[in-house]
Structure 1
């Protein structure tokens, strides 16, 4: 659902931004407003960003190869990180440069004065449609999370990126309308420069937020606490496993989770019996957390003496069963 919803939101944003970019450029050519130029470049950058997200989603679907045995799912994170860089450099820094240039040589808007206001109002309407689509698609997977938590914790990068881009675009249009409006009222081009600078600062901040969040995904994030608890209960929910000695999880892509665990198993009479038990545990994990598609389970014999001595396989800390236990085990985290 997240992939399809993300694609729908991206296409809606792309269509809106292309139309907005054209109208803004026309308004800039007619009026010479720096706010309109900054907004034009902003829309062009956003259009390119949506194209990058579509390319990333397409390339992530490639089959695994011997060189990339876990597939290409995390390529979506790479393209999302590139989007943050483009937004920062092409959108934010250009707007700040244009604001400086306009402040050094302020000029009033003397011709086609109604055009920038009409264009900005129309752009707000188009961006609102795109933003509404992104909100609707995000609500299908957001659950009861706050918007801040959804953006920070989402594993599929497309919806958070489009949400922040559309939100930034709407606020930027308001800033541009303020700068242009005050310039028309006062005849002072410094207001236009001020609106442009506000747009630049806004885009830089959004780009930094996106870069920080996508960097975390690129480095590799583990399962959410609720999924970790579900996996733990699935592993220990049958007679095949006595306890988890240690376990690690890693997102290979937005919809693919890897689970690797060393498990303590009771004594078995044959390797066939042990294999049947491990298969049963894997089936329970996939039923509890369907995105857990790559599972590696290493059987071992638990030894309390080895754990007390701090040596051997049993020396690893068992997986905390709840968030409270996890905090107790790692009070400094």
Structure 2
């Protein structure tokens, strides 16, 4: 989580400086795409603040009303961030672009646009590099995009998505400014603003989809669940194990329940020892699994096997 905070703080610092500069230059030159980029950077700055709020609130310990803690609150705030990107970032950029297309005004001095876009690309690149470094540091041998999805850390994922969109948006804005000035067609600057808005809306949809899955109770992937079941069935006291049911309570906390059929006529002491052994093995191999509930329920195991058709 500390690494995620560094990523978010880096993004917030860069976006604040960039937003102020873009607004100033947009006012001087009258560029619609530059104004869209300024709005984009402002929204990104606000989003970083919301992510920090979510990260802080998600660290609260459990209480009577929330016995499993508040870890999933970070997913709620990441959803709010995605909605803001879609509504404020995408919607306002598209609106501004349409207005500029309907009432085009020539740029006064595009030189300042190029200077600011180049400076913004440097700052965004630094922020993007910090976020990418955090993903590579945590991914191990996994492919990059799989590690990014499997991290379940919406703060890092959101910053990577935002900075990717920001760099692409800067390229679109530069093309729009150049084409508008070179061809003396101010309408192209407005078209670039619309394109930036559509880009932000697309990124927001991806973020909303990721947050939705985690908010409604997404669990560990099937391959991991199968590995847990196979490991449980390797215990000498276990006859058969059901498919583990899991749910993310936070980026680094997973709840797991498991129905197990132990050998017949086992003394209670041996059952307890087997349960402790299984829990220790699961926690040692899967660090995110913090809460494990194992029930000796052979009927549930057999019912699940029948429901799944005996497939493994």
Relative to the length of structure 2, the TM-score reads 0.93
Residue of structure 2 in register with 1:115 after alignment: 112
Q: Please show how residues 86-165 of structure 1 align to structure 2 within 5 Å.
A: 86-110=84-108, 112-165=109-162
| 1:268 shift after superposition | 4.2
Q: Please show how residues 54-65 of structure 1 align to structure 2 within 5 Å.
A: 54-65=52-63
Residue of structure 1 in register with 2:303 after alignment: 315
Change in CA separation of 1:245 and 1:151 when aligned onto 2, cut-off 3 Å = closer
Q: Distance in 2 between matches of 1:6 and 1:319?
A: 41
Relative to the length of structure 1, the TM-score reads 0.87
Residue of structure 1 in register with 2:260 after alignment: 263
| Contact preservation (8 Å) 1:240, 1:281 | no
Q: Distance in 2 between matches of 1:215 and 1:157?
A: 11
- What secondary structure is seen at the aligned counterpart in 1 of 2:305? coil
| Contact preservation (8 Å) 2:240, 2:301 | no
| 1:230 shift after superposition | 3.6
- What secondary structure is seen at the aligned counterpart in 1 of 2:65? coil
Q: Distance in 2 between matches of 1:41 and 1:62?
A: 33
| 1:315 shift after superposition | 2.0
| 1:277 shift after superposition | 2.4
Q: Tell me the C-alpha RMSD between the 2 structures.
A: 2.1
Q: Distance in 2 between matches of 1:301 and 1:130?
A: 52
| Contact preservation (8 Å) 2:260, 2:301 | no
Residue of structure 2 in register with 1:306 after alignment: none
| Structure 1 unaligned blocks of 5 or more | 303-311
Alignment deviations for residues 25-72 of structure 1 (CA, whole Å, 9 cap, x no partner)? 110111121111111110000011111111111111000111111111
| Structure 2 unaligned blocks of 5 or more | none
Q: Distance in 1 between matches of 2:159 and 2:223?
A: 26
Q: Please show how residues 6-21 of structure 1 align to structure 2 within 5 Å.
A: 6-21=4-19
- What secondary structure is seen at the aligned counterpart in 1 of 2:67? coil
Change in CA separation of 1:246 and 1:199 when aligned onto 2, cut-off 3 Å = closer
- Within the candidate set 211, 234, 248, 1:251 is matched to 248
| Contact preservation (8 Å) 1:12, 1:130 | yes
| Contact preservation (8 Å) 1:265, 1:301 | yes
Change in CA separation of 1:19 and 1:215 when aligned onto 2, cut-off 3 Å = same
| Contact preservation (8 Å) 1:244, 1:319 | no
| Contact preservation (8 Å) 1:246, 1:263 | no
Q: Distance in 2 between matches of 1:190 and 1:175?
A: 14
